[in-house]
Amino acid sequence: MNNSLTLLGLLSREPSYGYDLKHSYDRYFGAGKALAFGQVYATLARMVRDELIRALGEETGGGPDRKKYEITVAGQDRVREWLFTPDVPSESLQSELFAKTVIALLLDDDADRLLDVQRGEHMARLRELTRLKQDADLLRVLMCDHGLFHIEADLRWIDLTSARLTQLKKELQSA
Amino acid sequence: MSTPDTTAPILSARGLHHSFGQTEALRGIDLDLQAGEVLAVMGPSGSGKSTLLHCLAGVLVPDGGSVSYRPAGRSPEKISALGEPERARLRLADFGFVFQFGQLLPELTAADNVSIPLLLAGTKRPEALRRSTELLERLGLAGLGAKLPGELSGGQAQRVAVARALVTSPAVLFADEPTGSLDSLAAENVLTMMLELVREAGTTVVMITHDARTAAYADREVMVRDGAIGAGYRVPA
């Protein structure tokens, strides 16, 4: 998740203090990992430099928390560009697991076990997210669902790979 | 007088074997279920999940091995050694069943469908209907008791099937892909309501699913592969 652009998106609603932005961010997106104040102010300073936002009515001698920021036209354009540019699906986990599976097969090790261990880990996380959904508001439910569906996709890949291990091993050995 | 062993599993399978002709569906399964536990049984199609459930529930008698049932306050029974009439009695009185397609009787109303197990067990119709209506309300179906299954949505019909399975307050609920025919949102509603009721009542659940998100509602899962339980599960010593 891109924290800078998310903050910029929040700021495009109305001018805000860094303090309020941080709390808005935590409320919507900070489940399990709230943003540090330092990170918020560093991000704001960078966005001022890049002319995506500007400080309003700076008070003399005031620290970063005394400044109110507003988004610039360039900032608004940047937010819209971000919103409507699709993201590349993450393949980092898949490729790591794929590499482990292939190496295990090449080493004549227990690839089935490796996939089972990963499946157990994924299932534990699925259960955790499912529990988090109970009595949560809709915003939190939707966030959990996003995680749940992604983990489910990994699990399907694990199951399919698991079912094809014998064939994969043959192909690797004959390669 | 001996103290009852409250830690003994309510259902135990040992060395289950079963074949259909030349096909070995179960190849030595050991499984324990604690009372009140919700277990998901996962695995690919044809892995033996349904055969396992049928053996645990006394629908099928395994070719080899045993299934023991320890109901609270009664003597243990070896389900796999009972004759069909005794197993039928257990299935009616102690177990509840939910299947992928609700298998409601299309010509009966929702409330009448839910009442069937109670009527079979000898409850008078007004009392059966009262309890059915109450349970339908708990499952978010207030006012729909007079509807025929064909007039309900898939999710509503499946909740009627859940009510029918739970109306006798079974000790064990067997669910075979209970949300397999529903979309994500309807599936979630059915599961959430079903599990709220079973957890409240302390019902033990064996739920077959190939869907990981469904299995995540359970306390734990076992993976059945080629008629055996996959790595990662061992019956406690």
Whether residue A66 sits in one domain with residue A96:
no
| Band of residue A109 on the pLDDT scale cut at 50, 70, 90 | confident
Instruction: Tell me, yes or no, whether A13 and A74 share the same domain.
Output: yes
A39-56 pLDDT, tens digit each: 999 999 999 999 999 998
Q: What is the CATH number of the domain that holds A18?
A: 1.10.10.10
> Is A76 in the same domain as A120?
no
Both A105 and A140 in one domain: the answer is yes
**Which residue in the set A117, A152, A163 is minimally distant from B212, CB to CB?**
A152
What pLDDT is recorded for position B4?
44
* Residues from chain B contacting residue A152 (CB–CB below 8 Å): 211-213
> Could you tell me which of B102, B117, B98, B125 has the C-alpha nearest to residue B209?
B98
Residue to substitute from B223, B224, B233, B234, interface A, most A β-carbons within 10 A: B223
From A51, A83, A115, give the residue that closes a domain: A83
- Between vectors from CA A20 to CA A17 and to CA A23, what angle results, nearest 5°? 150
Whether residue A105 has pLDDT greater than 90:
no
DSSP letter for each residue of B191-212: HHHHHHHHHHHT-EEEEE-S-H
Do A47 and A77 share a structural domain? yes
Question: Domain ends where: A83, A110, A142?
Answer: A83
Helices within chain A (DSSP H only): 3-11, 18-29, 37-49, 73-83, 92-106, 111-133, 138-163, 165-174
Residues of A in contact with B218 (CB under 8 A): 127
Residue A81 DSSP code:
H
How many domains is chain A built from?
Answer: 2
Q: Please give the backbone phi and psi of residue B180, each rounded to the nearest 5 degrees, phi first.
A: -65, -25
- Cα of B178 to nearest chain A Cα, Å: 17
Q: Which of A83, A105, A137 is the last residue of a domain?
A: A83
Count of CB pairs separated by less than 8 Å, A with B: 38
Q: In B, what residues contact A, Cβ < 8 A?
A: 44, 192, 211-213, 215-218, 221, 223, 230-232
pLDDT of A95 reads 66
CA dist A85 and B42 (Å) reads 38
Same structural domain for residues A106 and A62?
no
CA-angle at A160, arms to A159 and A166, nearest 5°: 105
Q: Residue A47 contacts by C-beta under 8 Å, 6 or more apart in sequence? A: A4, A7, A8, A53, A69, A75
Q: Identify the three-state secondary structure at position A155.
A: helix
What is the rounded CA–CA span in Å between residue B111 and residue B105?
Answer: 11
Q: Is the pLDDT of residue A37 over 50?
A: yes
Burial class (CB in 10 A: 0-12, 13-18, 19+), A105: buried
Which residues in chain A are contacts of B211 at CB distance < 8 A? 152
| Residue pLDDT, tens place only, B146-204 | 999 999 999 999 999 999 999 999 999 999 999 988 888 999 999 999 999 999 999 99
- Could you list the residue range(s) of the whole structural domain that residue A105 is in? 92-174
Residue of B nearest to A115 (CA): B231
> Looking at this predicted complex, what is its ipTM?
0.79
CB contact under 8 A, A116 and B232: yes
Q: Are strands B172-176 and B95-98 parallel, antiparallel or unpaired?
A: parallel
